[in-house]
Amino acid sequence: MFLRVINPNTTAAMTAKIEESARAVAGPGTRLDAVNPSMGPASIESHYDEALSVPGILTEIARGETEGVDAYVIACFGDPGLDAARELAHGPVVGIAEAAMHAAALLGRGFSVVTTLDRTRGRAHELATRYGSPCRGVHACDIPVLELDKDPDVLDRVVALGRTALHDDDSDVLVLGCAGMADLAEKVSAALGVPVVDGVAAATLFAQSLVTLGLRTSARSEYAQPPPKAYTGILRRFTV
């Protein structure tokens, strides 16, 4: 099978980190590549960034549909463009927040999210409500997405915040609230002694499992192909 993991921001170093996390769990029979759009925000840390990332995501989905991609992962914790992507894709499209929250719900009574900027907490709560997940709290380490690779104290800060979150929320599982934290899961889990879910790995395996089960996005109603219509201006270049 052919999985495509889409980093919705345009930072190649993050795409490489995301690819590494996805490849680490993909099966031997799975062809996997990680891509990012050539247009869009360098990182996604606001509703504005999320909105501007969606045309690029949809461009990558449309391209994947011509290249035989069987399933997609949207590798940003805001799950940007997820519903629109499902209208374009024939196979499954899995967001890393959705995957991480569902995985966490299988591992404990309640989970906490450790994310980047404080302003992204509302989106995480909104997604947990939509997904019906037992999220007991969302905590921000206030490290900008593109600083995750540069700040030498990232691991210590995420561990400290995770410890506080588990205590204050009375949670028993942690979810990493950014694709850029994918490489921290194992170390944070070892430090805190609880399961720590990396949404990139979880979404990759969910997508792979759905294809293995022969399941795909339903085209019956809401996720049917978009009704044909004219798109004007620059969007004409990026629409099906």
Ligand X SMILES: NC(=O)NC1=NC(=O)NC1=O
- Site of interaction with ligand X (CB under 6 A): 9, 43-45, 76-78, 115-116, 120, 145, 177-180
Taking the CA atoms of 83, 206, 52 and 125 in sequence, report the sign of the dihedral they define. Answer: positive
Rounded to a whole number of angstroms, the minimum distance from the CB of residue 97 to ligand X is: 8
**178 three-class SS:** coil
Q: What is the length of the chain?
A: 240
Report the alpha-carbon distance of residue 240 to residue 235 in Å, rounded: 10
The DSSP bridge pattern shows strands 135-140 and 111-115 to be parallel
Taking the CA atoms of 135, 120, 47 and 101 in sequence, report the sign of the dihedral they define. Answer: negative
Rounded to a whole number of angstroms, the minimum distance from the CB of residue 227 to ligand X is: 31
Rounded to a whole number of angstroms, the minimum distance from the CB of residue 51 to ligand X is: 13
Cβ distance to ligand X smaller for residue 173 or 211: 173
Rounded to a whole number of angstroms, the minimum distance from the CB of residue 8 to ligand X is: 7
Rounded to a whole number of angstroms, the minimum distance from the CB of residue 16 to ligand X is: 13
CB 11 within 8 A of CB 40: no
Give 175-236 as a DSSP string.
EE-SGGGGGGHHHHHHHHTS-EEEHHHHHHHHHHHHHHTT-----SSTTSPPPP----GGGG
Rounded to a whole number of angstroms, the minimum distance from the CB of residue 115 to ligand X is: 5
Cβ distance to ligand X smaller for residue 42 or 219: 42
Query: Taking each helix axis from N to C terminus, what angle separates 96-105 and 199-212, rounded to the nearest 10 degrees?
Result: 90
Cβ distance to ligand X smaller for residue 118 or 168: 118
Cβ distance to ligand X smaller for residue 44 or 135: 44
Cβ distance to ligand X smaller for residue 5 or 179: 179
Cβ distance to ligand X smaller for residue 43 or 112: 43
Six token digits for residue 113: 């999210």
